[in-house]
Amino acid sequence: MKFTKMHGLGNDFIIVSGEASLPSNAAQMAIKLCDRNFGIGADGLVFILPSINASYQMRIINSDGSEAEQCGNAIRCVAKYIYDHKMVESEELTIETIGAGVQKVNVTAANGVAKLVQVDMGAPILEGLQIPTTIDSNPVIHEQIEVAGRAFHMTALSMGNPHCVIYVEDAINFELATWGPLVETHPVFPKKVNAEFATVRSRDYVDMRVWERGAGPTLACGTGACATLVASVLNGFTDRIATVALKGGELLIQWNEEDNHVYMTGPAEIVYTGNLSL
């Protein structure tokens, strides 16, 4: 089985294409292959599969073996893989996800190689019970939760997967490893949550660090960047278009008022290719 190691702002994936369907042992494969000491090392294992509703389908298995409904950095990597391998002829394509349905993708290319990828991430889900949280509110803004004796105020939403955005004084130096896993597994989130810790620098610039559900600390999270922009708009902190700065780099996020969709633009890179021995 051939694979391609790719990353979006350091959020890295093992990409596999050519399978007819998701392997029955995909969870076990992800745990083994994503191990950074005994495997290839990655935040997730991604399969590019056939789709009857879109150009292709993406299925992503986290490093702990759980399946993610959606992943913004992974979908950019998948789009670049599809375009660079001439699996489509147009710079416009569609990718099906299990959490956010079919998403439209536009590639900016040079010399036949994708350089930037813009993804229509769809409309955010703001209804508390649908995110899901245990809070029956729409939207869920500035809600207080207690985590190991510390009170946080969070804004929750879904970008096809659940997110919790918490504003802190210094996101760059925040104790992510301490508080991230505790927020991820807080009982207010019945399916766990991706935890974003953000600091607003201006109306168009936000620092963010992320603890991803099922993967832990990652250098970037595309859906998390989208959630952070939406939360920042809801709280009145930023305009509808802003740069979200993650540890691995920057993403340009826009929450379009006309169609209520969130658009994410950023790069994707190929690291190397190889063959799996399972």
For 185-216, how does the pLDDT look when each residue is reduced to its tens digit (9 = 90+)? 999 999 999 999 999 999 999 999 999 998 99
Name the phi and psi angles at 214, rounded to 5: 85, -10
98-123 pLDDT, tens per residue? 988 999 999 999 999 999 999 999 99
The active-site residue out of 34, 77, 221, 226 is 221
pLDDT of residue 73: 94
CA distance 17 to 1: 9
The active-site residue out of 34, 71, 164, 226 is 71
Catalytic residue status for 77: no
122-153 pLDDT, tens per residue? 999 999 999 999 999 999 999 999 999 999 99
CA distance 172 to 249: 12
80-92 pLDDT, tens per residue? 999 999 999 899 9
Are residues 73 and 8 in contact, defined by beta-carbon separation less than 8 angstroms? yes
Q: 109 is written with which tokens?
A: 């290319």
Predicted TM-score of the model (pTM) = 0.91
Catalytic residue status for 221: yes
pLDDT of residue 99: 87
User: DSSP 3-state assignment of 98?
Assistant: coil
Has residue 31 got a pLDDT over 90?
A: yes
Has residue 66 got a pLDDT over 80?
A: yes
pLDDT of residue 13: 97
Q: How many Cβ atoms sit within 10 Å of the Cβ of residue 50?
A: 13
- Within 34-193, residue ranges assigned H as helices are 72-84, 176-184
pLDDT of residue 97: 95
pLDDT of residue 276: 85
% of the chain at pLDDT higher than 90: 96
